[in-house]
A and B are shown apart, each in its own frame.
Chain A
């Protein structure tokens, strides 16, 4: 009863869970244009994930795995379903998630057939894979209610069915180590722990070996997604920025239900991977331009961001493509040969930023 009264009061006063606030991009997340100015090394129809074995870059593009050797891209393997996650294994193998429901593991990138296949009925929206401790693979399953391509539906339904799964390569078994997550989207081993992105709670958590969670990074102004190792830390991508308008819509249940029932998802008031395509798109009322200057607080519908974390998960700096840019919807980033490669899913770009250039830009 008291809880119900408190919920009502919070909703009325805009407090507690009903607070409609968004953190600012400041400190390590201070905006710049590094991602927007990045070199575009490839243009793909449906890029989704990246992986590297240190020698080449592997790109999940729709149904296809492509190999990028630094100069040219070649098709490596084609599947009958779209790839939703990709990772390279320490023993030289490669793992792919298909349509979020099946994971196939190959002993080499060019092996003719899968060595192990996981098609557990529990799996619904596998969106990230990473090598786990021992002979295991770790996967994040964003939602048990919605397929991967309907991630925005899961957000609007305030989904909390995300899970972290451990796939045992030796036995072929699937074990759930964490559940009830608000869209798990990205995982990476961090010592004996696993760092996991929880998108709808705008945070990164660490799961210990026994599955107990610890918050590493929270109150992010973005929806975090995939993680990958960096020298002495991690790269964390964010596929969209939070806005007060979306936060408001997420708290207005009746409005949201009606919007979902009546409006084309393309024009929902929801985060997008790209924007500016149609006059029907909703805008947030605010000053985008003042005195001829595009102000940094202009609320974006789509955004591009990669955050560099240290080994403890503390942000060091971030690479941005801001509201006036195009390299938005960044869903994957990996480090290889002194460069950071990232996928901007919105425009379908494969981007390359040299780490030396990042240091130079941030020092300037």
Chain B
């Protein structure tokens, strides 16, 4: 039996004549964990979608267990023993966890009770804290990801492909996930996983393949890589000093207090939360998933409502405010850049310029009766240039951009409103390394200009590299504050979990 379970030779996939991957050679060994690393748009997702039967190759071949195969559907790939856990959830939101797990494996007569018991036992065996009877649509992102993973494991695949599996997981859940992946490896399952968190690739993978601009750059044992070498190979330039680089040597002094949150309550997520945000500083907000960070700032931005009775106070520029919808918050100078850009950030079938123009319209009371296409073009063009959005034209649809450029459009849509307080919620989640640097530079620039900047992030190096002051949130409230000068990862994590 060959040591190689899956191989792609000279794999090329063209979209409208443009290569997403070009002459890529890839080999997956039996029982190995293989990390696939590259910037957004490097071709990682296309390569894995070929393996999973989501798309077919334009040219080149694919072999499974030494036999040439060309799965045309995910079902065909599953029959070949290949399963994929997608970045975007592929679960049915109106079904329960158990029903999703056994979707496609139903028998003629199904007893729900039996399905629930089997699902419960299976989830427990994976150490996943998910209720099988819960409706998937009501679950948080991390739990949905767990169900996705559980489904792939349940299908007893020989090859499991994870696309950004840890993006929404908490550190504890990540640990469980890593243990699970190692356990799968012990059982002889081969794993391909895509991750933007380079440390995960270094810790977890046996081998690492790096793609750039749709081409294969290098494949080597993980032990032969370090962070700098990966980044160098990914982007072809040295970013090690600019991306989560050295510790901050100085912090910006606090300006006037722009925002005060006093004893804010929104059951069950926000519990008596109090904090302040100052002009001319980046206030980093760290916490585990469920710490109430996003909810707190969504209340500030009028996206969510605080408790009806004794919900606490939000004070903007010294005046108590209570926004029931986001529009007045936008007009008051609050911009919220969402963590879930695909759902809340933009209209994906509208053009870049139109999306940015929408941000401007939101600032105008009552909107406008007539809309100016020329103005939309002008505004869009100016922000595309300012934020270096890499698009072939203003009329290109946002869905056609890479993750990093989509995020820049979401940011442009907020900045066009000229806010005083900008709340970035996970600004670089699912964004490639090159775009991360540019987004970080933008965030720093905003603080230098005197804006009050809030950056919510679950990624400690990002928090430590950018923030002037760091607030740690736990169980619905801020429990600790650090100056960036005396914060360490250990101190922050201790505050976040204890």
Chain A interface residues (CB < 8 Å from chain B) = 12-16, 19-24, 26-28, 30, 215, 218-219, 244, 290-291, 293, 295-297, 314, 316, 363-364
Contact = CB atoms under 8 A, between A and B. Distances in A.
B173 interface: no
A13 B309 CA distance: 5
B311 A14 contact: yes
Contacts, number: 70
Nearest to A286: B272
Contact of B469 (A27, A296, A363): A27
Given A295-B479, A314-B255, A23 B274 contact: yes
Contacts of B318: 215, 218-219
Contacts of B469: 26-27
A263 B437 CA distance: 63
A26 B263 contact: no
B61 interface: no
A70 to B, nearest CB: 32
Given A13-B308, A14-B311, A20-B263, A27 B276 contact: yes
B66 interface: no
A342 B483 CA distance: 26
Interface of B: 253-257, 260, 262-263, 274-276, 278, 308-313, 315, 318, 320, 322, 469, 471, 478-481, 483, 485-486, 498
B310 A13 contact: yes
A244 to B, nearest CB: 7
A364 B486 contact: yes
A21 B275 CA distance: 12
19 contacts: A13-B308, A19-B313, A22-B262, A23-B262, A23-B274, A24-B274, A27-B257, A27-B469, A27-B481, A28-B254, A30-B483, A219-B260, A219-B262, A219-B315, A219-B318, A297-B479, A314-B256, A316-B253, A364-B486
B309 A14 contact: yes
Given A27-B469, A363-B485, A219 B312 contact: no
Contacts of B254: 27-28, 314
A327 B209 CA distance: 61
A297 B275 CA distance: 12
B93 to A, nearest CB: 34
Contact of A24 (B256, B308, B322, B478): B478
A30 B486 CA distance: 13
Nearest to B482: A30
B498 A293 contact: yes
Contacts of A219: 257, 260, 262, 315, 318
A20 B272 CA distance: 11
Given A21-B274, A27-B469, A30-B483, 5 more contacts: A19-B312, A23-B276, A26-B471, A219-B262, A244-B263
Nearest to A313: B256
A244 B271 CA distance: 14
A303 to B, nearest CB: 16
Most buried by A among B274, B278, B312, B478: B274
* Interchain residue pairs A-B with the least CB separation, the first 3: A14-B310, A21-B262, A24-B274
Most buried by B among A21, A215, A218, A314: A21
Nearest to A363: B485
A150 B354 CA distance: 65
A12 B253 CA distance: 40
A21 B481 contact: no
Nearest to A13: B309
A171 B408 CA distance: 69
A271 to B, nearest CB: 18
B257 A22 contact: no
A364 B483 CA distance: 10
Contacts of A314: 254-256
Contacts of B486: 364
Nearest to A292: B498
Given A14-B311, A295-B479, A26 B276 contact: yes
A159 to B, nearest CB: 23
Given A219-B257, A291-B498, A363-B485, A27 B479 contact: no
Contact of B276 (A24, A215, A291): A24
Contacts of A296: 480
Nearest to A295: B479
Contacts of B471: 26
B260 A22 contact: no
B278 A27 contact: yes
Most buried by B among A12, A24, A297: A24
Contacts of A244: 263
A110 to B, nearest CB: 44
Contact of B275 (A20, A26, A364): A26
Contacts of A21: 262-263, 274, 312-313
Contacts of B498: 290-291, 293
Contacts of B278: 27
Contacts of B320: 16, 19
Nearest to B483: A30
B324 to A, nearest CB: 13
B321 to A, nearest CB: 12
Most buried by B among A12, A14, A364: A14
Contacts of A20: 263, 310
B457 to A, nearest CB: 18
Contacts of B312: 19, 21
B50 to A, nearest CB: 50
Contacts of A19: 262, 310, 312-313, 320
Contacts of B276: 23-24, 26-27
Nearest to B486: A364
A29 B134 CA distance: 44
A295 B498 CA distance: 11
B263 to A, nearest CB: 4
A19 B313 CA distance: 7
Nearest to B255: A314
A21 B274 CA distance: 9
Contacts of A290: 498
Nearest to B312: A21
B92 to A, nearest CB: 40
A13 B306 CA distance: 12
A23 B278 CA distance: 14
Contacts of B255: 314
A26 B481 CA distance: 7
A30 B283 CA distance: 14
Nearest to A244: B263
A19 B312 CA distance: 7
Contacts of B262: 19, 21-24, 219
Contacts of B275: 24, 26
Most buried by A among B310, B471, B480, B498: B310
B120 to A, nearest CB: 32
Contacts of A316: 253
B492 to A, nearest CB: 15
B248 to A, nearest CB: 13
A363 to B, nearest CB: 7
A215 B275 CA distance: 21
A192 B150 CA distance: 71
Contacts of A13: 308-310
B263 A22 contact: yes
A16 B322 CA distance: 10
Nearest to A310: B253
A362 to B, nearest CB: 9
A342 B434 CA distance: 53
Contacts of B308: 13
Contacts of A22: 262-263, 274
B415 to A, nearest CB: 24
B317 to A, nearest CB: 11
